[in-house]
Amino acid sequence: MSDAASAVDKAILVTPEQVAWTDSPVIANAKGALLAGDPSKAEMTVLRVKLPPHCKHPPHTHPFSEVATVLSGRLGYGLGETFDTSKGWVLEAGTFAVVPAKRSHYIWTDDEEAIVQIQFVGPFGIEYVNPADDPRQG
């Protein structure tokens, strides 16, 4: 959505057909879509993320609290600095989760795609527990 103005400045309506998916810069083979806000600014931002089957996103933190709702599929979700699916949960569509700022967490998908809506007050930031896991390095 090219006109993803500040979510507090004006009313915004985005239908499923209007969601403009682009390649995610931080999750391999995933797609992202900006629905509202500017992630580079200190304002409310709403994103959608489309995660492919068998996706594994390593432990990381954000400088903000992250509010996530699983819209479709199932999302594996764990807390901690070590990727361990046996210590996480599988969130069904409709599940709502909040991760506090600077709390290490990781995600994965099983045999199906998952779509998750994420809301936060920016600016956006991500730090990997293991810097070698950062797909932007290299």
Q: Each residue of 44-102: pLDDT tens digit? A: 999 999 999 999 999 999 999 999 999 999 999 999 999 999 999 999 999 999 999 99
CA separation for the pair 76, 90 (Å, rounded): 4
Could you tell me if residue 102 is inside a domain?
yes
Could you tell me if residue 13 is inside a domain?
no
CB atoms within 10 A of CB 85: 14
Could you tell me if residue 63 is inside a domain?
yes
Could you tell me if residue 114 is inside a domain?
yes
CA separation for the pair 89, 101 (Å, rounded): 19
Q: Which structural domain range is residue 136 located in?
A: 49-138
Could you tell me if residue 84 is inside a domain?
yes
Return the amino acid letter for 19: V
> Which tokens go with 67?
């509010």
Q: How many domains does the chain have?
A: 1
pLDDT at position 10 is 81
Say what the pTM is. Answer: 0.91
Confidence band of 111 (pLDDT split at 50, 70, 90): very high
CATH label of the domain that carries residue 54: 2.60.120.10
For the chain, what's the residue count? 138
Could you tell me if residue 29 is inside a domain?
no
